[in-house]
Structure 1
Amino acid sequence: MEMDPGTFDDRKVEDLVGLGVNRVDDGIEILGSCGFENWSVDLISSLPHQTPQMWEESLRLPIEARPRHVSVYDLRVEQGTEFGVL
Structure 2
Amino acid sequence: MPQNTTTPDRATTVTSVITELKAVLDYELPELTEQSKIFEELGLDSTGVFELMMRLEEALDIEFDTDSLEMGHFETVGTLTDFVLGESGS
TM-score range, shorter chain: under 0.3
Q: TM-score with structure 2 length normalisation?
A: 0.26
Higher strand share: 1
Higher helix share: 2
Q: TM-score with structure 1 length normalisation?
A: 0.27
| CA radius of gyration, larger in | 1
